Amino acid sequence: MAKEKKEKKKGTLSIHSENIFPIIKKWLYSEHDIFLRELISNSVDAMQKRAAIESDIDKEQLKIEVKIDKTNNTIKVIDYGIGMDAEEVEKYINQIAFSGAEDFVEKYKDKQSDLIGHFGLGFYSAFMVAEKVTIDSLSYKEDADPVYWECDGKREFVIAEGERKKVGTTVTIHVNKDNKQFLDAQKIKDLIKKYSNFVPFPVYVNKEKEPVNLEEALWNKEPSQVEDKEYKEFYKKLFNQYEDPLFWIHLNVDFPFKLKGILYFPKIKRNLDINQGRVKLYCNNVFVADDLKQIIPEFLLLLRGGLDIPDIPLNVSRSFLQEDKQVRTVSKYIIKKVADSLKKKFKDDREEYQKLWEDINHFVKYGIVTEDKFYEAMKDNIIFKTPKDEYLTIEEYKTRNPSDEKMHKIYYAKSEDTQLSYLKMMEEQGIDVLIQSSVIDGHLFQKLEMQEGDVQFVRVDSEVNENLVNKDQDEIVDKDNKTPSDKIKEIVENALDNDKITVQTKSLKSKSIPGMVVFNEQIRRMQEMNNFTMMQDADLLANHTFVVNTENETVKKLLKLSETDKKNEISLLCNFIHDLAMLEQKQFTGKELQTFIKESNQLLNYIK
């Protein structure tokens, strides 16, 4: 005998002040596309409950279908979960979702702020994009009647007997005119991949045979169960990458909080950009956010990967992240885990660590500079390359280059291809030089100087190392009480005729170099840290010290020339050796290069 069809029931949502729907539509979520995440999450919950109740159910039945109808402007989200009967629709849709709604509206009606996390309105997020929403549902309970619910975003709703034949629920969104972009199938697929890529049931769009989502997040497996090939494939799928990651850290912790995740180390370019990395936050496999500055330190945003924290609500607010004690504990744990992994690699396989250093040093240095806990953990594992392709820690440098002074000077060069004369002189005297390999090195040097207290970083062109200078040389004084060095200094000063240039004379052990240009270390470093380069800053180039090597044969010729009337030749020679020194500091402009070539050609004429 056919059941008697029940009459429609009309009702009013239990809101006793200003309507809540405008608040949902305007303020609750920063992005309207969140509605699909919420509806799929509800479907997942319903199917997990059914799988738990009906242990013998064919798992292939448990799926989610998203059907788009551009003709009728509708999006259907269909699941095969436990479904609802009329009483449950009344309870879960009409009552529970709006319990406390009056207080909510009163508190936030005048505040257009980020309200995510203050009120659980998952299902009602559909009204952000809908002019009407309907529900067709059939409960798994024996002899249950299908139920139909309808609401147009006002206070009134309708409940009637539905037409659903299979257990589960269909939510139909009648898309409003302002949100028709969501009727595009590719747009919907992109949203599923973004928000619901790892939900434990397949999600299909329209009549496609293959599910859109990946279904399984690799971090849900035990690390011992995952092969390297799987880690690499997962990385490439998740981030649309063709390159393998350098390495990864698999996180799996149950106490004092629950956390699963994988952090991948990509190849990081010299120009640090936290937008290169993407660490995504999930809650029970559902995407929450990828702007994680409040949950993990900024330097970790250079990495890629996913973190799943089940105790963080889906509708999580930035203020929640900033204030939550568990989030701060998670942050400390991740810093420690990353540092422990790097330290273990350094200890167990120094050679492999050194190979990775070219790509990870920017990340490590950034973390050391910006995060004190990471600095304490990693300071002994910072390595610097030398021109001999060796890698030294700070302690190793100090051991190989002992100092009698309390302040240990550590010499470095801008690169392996610049300041070559300086590097050669240091090498001849057995002094190690470290290569500045990252844009952040200036900040790192300052951090190490402040924290360690006994080291001072000095670029090779900031001063002339005393080990490069001949000591205890007695010079003959002439009738005017001047030494040869005094005379050379005077000759060069007069020839250059530039009061911004300070001329010094030194007896260098290397005779091949006629002169060196040196700059003030602190001034240059400050300007570099403020994103100035040597070429951009004319003042730093203009105000420098020119060190003239009195042991160089060309320089000695200046003394002989000074005894003649060849002033033009003296001026030409002085300017030429100065320009040679400047050439190691900067790329000449067209005009400067033209002058240098002219000087060179003129000097050739003097060669007999």
pLDDT in tens, 31-55: 788 889 989 988 998 999 999 999 8
- Mean pLDDT across 126-148: 92
Based on the fold, state whether residues 224 and 329 are members of the same structural domain: yes
Specify the pLDDT at position 539: 59
Between 80-84, 300-304, 539-543, the lowest mean confidence (pLDDT) is in: 539-543
* CATH code: domain of residue 22: 3.30.565.10
Model confidence at 99: pLDDT above 50: no
Specify the pLDDT at position 51: 92
Specify the pLDDT at position 12: 62
- Mean pLDDT across 398-426: 87
Specify the pLDDT at position 535: 42
Q: Rounded to whole angstroms, what are the CA distances from 572 to 479, 516, 577?
A: 28, 17, 9
Based on the fold, state whether residues 350 and 230 are members of the same structural domain: yes
Specify the pLDDT at position 241: 83
Structural domain contains residue 485: yes
* CATH code: domain of residue 401: 3.40.50.11260
Structural domain contains residue 361: no
Provide the pLDDT confidence category of residue 281 given band limits of 50, 70 and 90.
confident
Model confidence at 564: pLDDT above 60: yes
Specify the pLDDT at position 276: 53
Query: Which of 205, 232, 262 represents a domain boundary (last residue)?
Result: 205
Based on the fold, state whether residues 91 and 115 are members of the same structural domain: yes
Provide the pLDDT confidence category of residue 273 given band limits of 50, 70 and 90.
low
Q: Rounded to whole angstroms, what are the CA distances from 383 to 66, 123, 150, 299, 339?
A: 53, 53, 65, 18, 15
- Mean pLDDT across 258-272: 79
Based on the fold, state whether residues 44 and 113 are members of the same structural domain: yes
Provide the pLDDT confidence category of residue 289 given band limits of 50, 70 and 90.
confident
Specify the pLDDT at position 27: 46
CB 434 within 8 A of CB 425: no
Specify the pLDDT at position 269: 61
- Mean pLDDT across 100-119: 42
Model confidence at 95: pLDDT above 60: yes
Between 116-120, 384-388, 460-464, 467-471, the lowest mean confidence (pLDDT) is in: 116-120
Quick one: which of 8, 47, 1 has its CA closest to 143? Answer: 1
Provide the pLDDT confidence category of residue 607 given band limits of 50, 70 and 90.
low
CB 547 within 8 A of CB 574: no
Please tell me the pTM assigned to this model: 0.73
316 CB-near residues (< 8 Å, 6+ apart): 116, 117, 281, 283, 288, 289
Based on the fold, state whether residues 455 and 474 are members of the same structural domain: no
DSSP state of 75: E
Model confidence at 79: pLDDT above 60: yes
Structural domain contains residue 39: yes
Domain count for the chain: 4
- Mean pLDDT across 378-400: 94
Based on the fold, state whether residues 438 and 327 are members of the same structural domain: no
Structural domain contains residue 194: yes
Model confidence at 296: pLDDT above 80: no
Q: How far apart are CA 48 and CA 41, in angstroms?
A: 11
Provide the pLDDT confidence category of residue 102 given band limits of 50, 70 and 90.
very low
CB 421 within 8 A of CB 549: no
Q: How far apart are CA 240 and CA 442, in angstroms?
A: 34
Domain boundaries, position 573: 470-606
Specify the pLDDT at position 189: 96
Query: Which of 309, 339, 354 represents a domain boundary (last residue)?
Result: 354
CB 46 within 8 A of CB 83: yes
Based on the fold, state whether residues 146 and 15 are members of the same structural domain: yes
Query: Which of 304, 335, 354 represents a domain boundary (last residue)?
Result: 354
Between 181-190, 315-324, 392-401, 469-478, the lowest mean confidence (pLDDT) is in: 315-324
Report the percent of the chain where pLDDT is more than 90.
38
Q: How many other CB atoms sit within 10 Å of the CB of residue 363? A: 23
Based on the fold, state whether residues 39 and 156 are members of the same structural domain: yes
Structural domain contains residue 359: no
Based on the fold, state whether residues 201 and 261 are members of the same structural domain: no
Structural domain contains residue 160: yes
pLDDT top residue among 474 and 191: 191
Based on the fold, state whether residues 325 and 394 are members of the same structural domain: no
Report the percent of the chain where pLDDT is more than 70.
83
pLDDT top residue among 69 and 127: 69
Provide the pLDDT confidence category of residue 322 given band limits of 50, 70 and 90.
low
Provide the pLDDT confidence category of residue 321 given band limits of 50, 70 and 90.
low
Based on the fold, state whether residues 180 and 74 are members of the same structural domain: yes
Quick one: which of 554, 403, 549, 407 has its CA closest to 468? Answer: 549
Specify the pLDDT at position 108: 45
Model confidence at 475: pLDDT above 90: no
Q: How far apart are CA 132 and CA 459, in angstroms?
A: 69
In total, the chain counts a number of residues equal to 608
Structural domain contains residue 2: no
- Mean pLDDT across 458-474: 83
Specify the pLDDT at position 90: 83
Specify the pLDDT at position 62: 94
Specify the pLDDT at position 191: 94
What are the tens digits of pLDDT across the range 206-244? 989 899 998 789 999 999 999 999 999 999 988 888 889
pLDDT top residue among 107 and 354: 354
- Mean pLDDT across 154-173: 90
Specify the pLDDT at position 127: 85
Quick one: which of 86, 94, 160 has its CA closest to 123? Answer: 94
Model confidence at 596: pLDDT above 60: yes
Average pLDDT score over the chain: 82
Model confidence at 201: pLDDT above 80: yes
Structural domain contains residue 350: yes
Based on the fold, state whether residues 237 and 290 are members of the same structural domain: yes
On the CB side of 108, CA atoms within 13 Å amount to 22
Model confidence at 175: pLDDT above 90: yes
414 CB-near residues (< 8 Å, 6+ apart): 436, 459
Specify the pLDDT at position 121: 54
Model confidence at 534: pLDDT above 50: no
* CATH code: domain of residue 494: 1.20.120.790
Specify the pLDDT at position 136: 96
Q: How far apart are CA 155 and CA 152, in angstroms?
A: 8
